[in-house]
Amino acid sequence: MTAFSYTEHPSPTALEQIAEILKDPGFGTNFTDHTAVIDWTLQDGWTNPRVEPYGPISLDPAASVLHYAQEVFEGMKAYRHADGSIYTFRPEANAARMNTSARRLALPELDEQLFIESLEQLVAVDKAWVPSGDGEALYLRPFMFASEAFLGVRPAHEVSYRVIASPAGNYFGGELKPVRIWVSRDYVRAAPGGTGAAKTGGNYAGSLVAQQQAADNGCQQVLFLDPLHENAIEELGGMNVFLVTNDGRLLTPELTGTILEGITRSSVIQLAKDRGLKVEERRITLDEWDRGVSDGTITEVFACGTAAVITPIGELVDGDKSIASTGTGEVTQAIRDELLGIQTGTVEDRHGWLHKLG
Ligand SMILES: *Cc1c(COP(=O)(O)O)cnc(C)c1O
């Protein structure tokens, strides 16, 4: 594989305009001037790694991703530290997970080093877009899709890998505000043998109607249940879930193949163990959650993922029933502060999770 080539954007965004965008970046609406791209064909493998101007993709209307959704993606952040340097968090874990997802979707695997280099190359040219405000970061979105123009049903022979970047503010906005969660009784997210453990667009497409139902009922997110075990909880549409007990335990649903293995999830588990909490990965039912909150054994509940980091779950709405409510607890706050501190360079990175991008 040759080195990345670089085609500079003919009219990059002016620094003053970037500064204007970074004042209130929002989430996923503004994109940097460049994109990293690598092509793949069955015959030649991965070729032509490059950084080129950001812009619309020309795609044949028969491109199989548009018909059969052969696609996977990743989500990560680049943080600006106080000295101006830029770091990302556990990129080798994202590289490994993208390959796990790719195998499930019959897409080609991408070398871990090449994945990391694609991030380095993109951030190197667009580093002015990395915000420095509290809770802000440059969101990186690597993705891979079937670009071959072919309507037959088989794994595509032509694939495109890309990385785009978007400055991101505080996901749920402002301070830690507990969210209301809707329990989905009409829809499941994943079933054994399905694609639940892969980060693929189809899982999200299938969850939108449940998300809509949640919004109609005044909730911000959906909690999906295990389709096989009555009332066992799995995860939110794009975040993993944790419960904190009053006797120093941290509970989270175990990975059975239907839950997406969050990198935030695994980092939270490590940080919890570091502080002496006992972590239990096992089946957790809504009844246990309900009873625990009522009798005081469950003191905090939170969700986690790259975009929002850690968000306390206030209320759980299950049809007409509202399952007890907890505020932002001490453990939730402490783990969030520590994780965000590591990511932004104010807390020692004792696990070697940071990777310098520039
Ligand atoms: C991405 C994602 C998560 C969170 O993973 P992180 O690596 O922590 O960002 C959780 N659940 C689903 C379904 C996801 O797609």
Assess if residue 350 is contained within a domain. no
Task: Identify whether residues 269 and 132 lie together within a single domain.
Answer: no
Residue 55 within a domain: yes
Q: What are the structure tokens assigned to 339, written together?
A: 């994780």
Looking at every residue in the chain, the average pLDDT score rounds to 95
**Which one of 109, 140, 168 terminates a domain?**
168
Q: What is the DSSP letter of 12?
A: P
pLDDT in tens, 287-311: 999 999 999 999 999 999 999 899 9
> pLDDT-based confidence at 171, cuts 50/70/90?
low
Among 168, 198, 229, give the residue marking a domain's end. 168
Distance (Å) from CA 239 to ligand 1 centroid: 5
Distance 333 CA to ligand 1 centre (A): 20
- Strand runs labelled E in the chain: 5-6, 34-41, 45-53, 71-73, 76-80, 86-89, 137-146, 158-168, 179-183, 221-225, 233-236, 240-245, 249-252, 278-281, 298-305, 309-318, 321-325, 354-356
- Structure confidence at residue 326 (pLDDT): 74
* Atom number, ligand 1, closest to the C-alpha of residue 75: 9
Same structural domain, 220 and 275: yes
CA of 305 to the centre of ligand 1 (A): 5
Task: Report the Cα 355 to chain-centroid distance in Å.
Answer: 18
If one residue of 240, 335, 339 were mutated to test the ligand 1 pocket, choosing by the most ligand atoms within 8 A of its CB, it would be 240
Q: What confidence tier does 271 reach under pLDDT thresholds 50, 70, 90?
A: very high
What integer pLDDT is reported at residue 324 of this predicted model? 74
Reported confidence tier of residue 159, pLDDT bands at 50, 70, 90: very high
Minimal-distance CA residue to ligand 1 atom 15: 238
Domain co-membership, 149 together with 26: yes
Asked if 118 and 200 sit in the same domain, the reply is no
Q: What's the rounded mean pLDDT across residues 262-291?
A: 97
What is the residue with the minimal CA distance to atom 1 of ligand 1?
A: 238
Q: Is the pLDDT of residue 147 over 80?
A: yes
CA dihedral sign of residues 207, 210, 212, 218:
negative
Same-domain pairing of 36 and 56: yes
How far is it, in rounded angstroms, from Cα 271 to Cα 250? 11
| Dihedral-angle region of residue 248 (phi above 0 means left; psi in -120 to 50 means alpha; beta otherwise) | left
CA of 260 to the centre of ligand 1 (A): 6
Q: Provide the residue range defining the domain that includes 97.
A: 5-168
Residues 192 and 158 in one domain: no
Q: Taking 70 as the threshold, does the pLDDT of residue 101 lie above it?
A: yes
Distance of CA 177 to the CA centre of its chain: 20
Query: 173-195 pLDDT, tens per residue?
Result: 556 788 999 999 999 999 999 99
Cα(50)–Cα(5) distance, integer angstroms = 5
Q: For residue 1, is pLDDT > 70?
A: no
Inside any domain, residue 174: no
Q: Which atom of ligand 1 is nearest to the CA of 239?
A: 10
- Rounded Cα distance between 232 and 195, Å, is 19
Q: Which atom of ligand 1 is nearest to the CA of 189?
A: 13
Whether residues 103 and 183 share a domain: the answer is: no
Q: What percent of the chain has pLDDT over 90?
A: 92
Ligand 1 atom nearest residue 93's Cα = 7
Q: Indicate whether 355 pLDDT > 70.
A: yes
CB-based pocket (< 6 A), ligand 1: 75, 199, 235, 238-240, 260, 262-265, 305-306
Domain membership flag for residue 70 = yes
**Ligand 1 nearest atom to the CA of residue 266, by list position:** 8
Ligand 1 centroid to Cα of residue 196, in Å, is 11
The alpha-helical segments, DSSP class H, found in 126-217 are: 201-216
Give the position, in ligand 1's atom list, of the atom nearest the Cα of 265. Answer: 8
- Do 217 and 75 fall within a single domain? no
Asked if 34 and 120 sit in the same domain, the reply is yes
Does position 135 have pLDDT exceeding 90, yes or no? no
Classify residue 75 by burial, with Cβ atoms within 10 Å: 0-12, 13-18, 19+: middle
Q: Which residue carries 């909730």 as its tokens? A: 219
| pLDDT band per the 50, 70, 90 thresholds, residue 312 | very high
Residue 57 has pLDDT above 60, yes or no: yes
Same domain for 10 and 89, yes or no, is: yes
Pocket test for ligand 1, best of 306, 309, 343 (most atoms within 8 A of CB): 306
Of 323, 313, 243, 236, nearest in space to 283 by CA: 243
Distance 240 CA to ligand 1 centre (A): 7
Task: Determine the angle formed by the axes of helices 112-125 and 91-104, rounding to 10 degrees.
Answer: 120
User: Which atom of ligand 1 sits closest to the CA of residue 237?
Assistant: 13
Residues 163 and 29 placed together within one structural domain of the fold: yes
Q: What is the dihedral of CA 191, 162, 55, 124, to 10 degrees?
A: 130
| 184 falls within a domain | yes
**Domain identity same for 56 and 127:** yes
Annotate 218-228 with b (16+ C-beta within 10 A) or e (fewer). Answer: ebbbbbbbbbe
Task: State percent of the chain over pLDDT 70.
Answer: 98
Specify the pLDDT at position 123. 98
Nearest CA owner, ligand 1 atom 6: 262
**Residue 2 per-residue DSSP state:** P
Q: Which of 354, 334, 351, 332 is nearest to 343 (CA)?
A: 354
**How many angstroms does the Cα of residue 222 sit away from the middle of ligand 1?**
14
Give the per-residue pLDDT at 328.
79
Query: What's the CA-to-centroid distance between 167 and ligand 1, angstroms?
Result: 19
- Condensed to tens digits (0 to 9), the pLDDT of residues 224-263 reads 999 999 899 999 989 999 999 999 999 999 999 999 999 9
Residue 36 domain flag:
yes
Angle at 323 between CA 318 and CA 328, to 5 degrees: 125
Q: How many domains does the chain have?
A: 2
Concatenating the DSSP letter of every residue in 43-74 gives TTEEEEEEEEE--PPP--TTBTHHHH--EEE-
Last-in-domain residue among 142, 168, 194: 168
3-class SS at 292? helix
Query: What's the mean pLDDT in 270-275?
Result: 98
